[in-house]
Structure 1
């Protein structure tokens, strides 16, 4: 039957994805991907009962069932912690992180009481599962949104590191965590219907596509990495105390130097240019460079670099000798790493898409 095939594909897809994330063949975002792989493995276990029914094996019971149920409860936590490491690869666990264990301990206690015969606790278990899933998916979403604001401070190409693919699956996590928990509690021993399994398979393919396209979010150079990670915290501190990092006369001089460097060396054409690498070219600290860009140009790093890229793109689009280049080719020649970012940024700064700008030139 079709449903049986899909059930096997769903279960095996999550297991395979888990293995890929744990082995991390691309060697990017290592700690985050290990945790994400563990999350996917636990997610796969939610489909274990269906597979056992399919192969006509006896359902898990006793200690095995209790143990799996407890580890399944940890699924949202693992997702959240993986997000934490995606947004800060230098994150260190502290004593305060023991708070993560409070709800799991409560759940384990209720689970044990339910196991020894107090079946009236089943609804409490469901509520704990739902509340736990909602809490950590919400925290994950807020963490990703904070990250998306932060990367504008140090990266010039954010579309590949903004973690939007994780935002897109948060809804799926809520759906699967809540729906499967309720379904298994009410209809224990029955397989999920065909449509639910098709949705799960689609989610697995979606995760596979986006997780395998990952880029290293932070600079590989450890010194650069530490500097850009500290940027957001220091920016807040500077805002609070209104600290002037550079005197006004020096700011004018450094602003001119930066402008000349960008025009003469065209560093913005490097897809991987970031705040740390540019600060080395300027022979200033990352915090000083951020201050120069913020106060001198009234922009963040992303806006600053892409202003030059858009200007370069306008020059290329206006040059008839580049007509053989596609819009994507123009984007690459201008320093952009994706057509989507190019179109979005170009329109924001010119109120036209690159195609509209080129067509307008042709009509003159």
Structure 2
């Protein structure tokens, strides 16, 4: 099989994989993150159309400029904004469109006008302008999506003790990879023969698509709580540890009282051993509001919820690691300490101690 045949095979795999994954996200058999998966499914389908020209050529044996159809170009233009909508719903499932969101239609409207003028015979300069609008749309919404995901990653640390599986890292990596691939593609189009890069680009895209399929299908519900609790957690600001310190939610006397009560419960009850512990669960144990508890942790300890709980978990893990008679493996100690994976255990442990659990165990056994 030569490179051309292999590239054709990869194109078929890309198109088929995207369409199949799109259908899986749209039907959403697990019924999780419904709105987000709907928009992500639409994004995947729009993404698949970029290979439609090559697929039609392989089927018919003759070149069909499917991509040059104006309606198709307009629909493809919407791909970045649809991806952005999926990110919005992943990070905030209660998001609803408002009249002010009509601003999202500004760039598509400008692009549609360009297409109309091009079709009317005004090729220059509107053909160039349409390309510029495509680049602006792609860069703007992928950049905005990246910022929203980063904010989400800070926010969930305000209420979740284990963020792996809900931090949307896979979406962040999609943006970075696609950005790098597009830069390479543009450079080759400007200075080299772009056809020589087709095989490489398509191979990279195929790997990215399978990687996306793996992580998107295993993505669990990010806010798996009843509506009232969900609204409460979503309302927590991602920079609450900085904002809440600036304004007093409760008196210093009340703060001190809750702080002592919290320390007692953490020492005696060890709620941090529950891998599903979140801000609301701990607040219910203390019989205080989640906002007040967040304020006490942020102000009284100078940490967010994630840092505070995982500090206790690491200390508990240290005791188990120092125990020469312990029959637990490193993974077993991670689970016993309240972590839900070896990866999160290693990352958090090293961040707080400067050593991996294995290094800490070895040094402790040598003493």
For the criterion TM > 0.5, the same-fold answer is yes
Q: Which residue of 1 aligns with 2:172?
A: 167
2:52 to 48, 54, 60: 48
State the distance in 1 between where 2:166 and 2:228 align. 19
State the distance in 2 between where 1:308 and 1:62 align. 59
Structure 1, 251-260 or 169-178: larger mean CA deviation: 169-178
List alignment gaps of at least 5 residues for structure 1.
185-189
Instruction: After superposition, give the CA deviation of every residue in 1:142-177 in whole Å (9 maximum; x if it has no partner).
Output: 111111111111111112221111111113433567
2:328 counterpart SS class: coil
Q: Which residue of 1 aligns with 2:236?
A: 231
State the distance in 2 between where 1:326 and 1:238 align. 41
State the distance in 2 between where 1:237 and 1:300 align. 10
2:247 to 237, 243, 246: 243
Instruction: After superposition, give the CA deviation of every residue in 1:235-288 in whole Å (9 maximum; x if it has no partner).
Output: 389549x43222222222211111121222221111111111211111111110
Where do residues 125-274 of structure 1 align in structure 2 (5 Å cutoff)? 125-174=130-179, 193-232=198-237, 235=240, 239=244, 242-274=246-278
State the distance in 1 between where 2:85 and 2:51 align. 23
Structure 1, 339-348 or 296-305: larger mean CA deviation: 339-348
State the distance in 1 between where 2:101 and 2:212 align. 28
Where do residues 1-364 of structure 1 align in structure 2 (5 Å cutoff)? 1-56=5-60, 65-120=69-124, 121-174=126-179, 193-232=198-237, 235=240, 239=244, 242-322=246-326, 324-364=327-367
State the distance in 2 between where 1:119 and 1:209 align. 43
Structure 1, 45-54 or 208-217: larger mean CA deviation: 208-217
2:275 counterpart SS class: coil
Instruction: After superposition, give the CA deviation of every residue in 1:290-315 in whole Å (9 maximum; x if it has no partner).
Output: 01111222211001110111111111
1:362 counterpart SS class: helix
Q: How many residue pairs end up in the alignment? A: 358
- 1:28 Cα deviation from its structure 2 partner: 2.1
Structure 1, 303-312 or 243-252: larger mean CA deviation: 243-252
Structure 1, 257-266 or 69-78: larger mean CA deviation: 257-266
2:165 counterpart SS class: coil
Distance 1:183 1:92, change over 3 A: farther
Structure 1, 174-183 or 229-238: larger mean CA deviation: 174-183
State the distance in 1 between where 2:168 and 2:253 align. 40
List alignment gaps of at least 5 residues for structure 2.
190-194
Tell me if the contact between 1:133 and 1:178 (Cα under 8 Å) persists in the aligned partners: no
State the distance in 2 between where 1:335 and 1:36 align. 32
**Taking structure 1 as the reference length, what is the TM-score of the superposition?**
0.91
Across the aligned residues of Structure 1 and Structure 2, the Cα RMSD in angstroms comes to 2.6
**Taking structure 2 as the reference length, what is the TM-score of the superposition?**
0.90
State the distance in 2 between where 1:73 and 1:356 align. 51
State the distance in 2 between where 1:19 and 1:146 align. 29
Structure 1, 165-174 or 272-281: larger mean CA deviation: 165-174
State the distance in 2 between where 1:179 and 1:51 align. 23
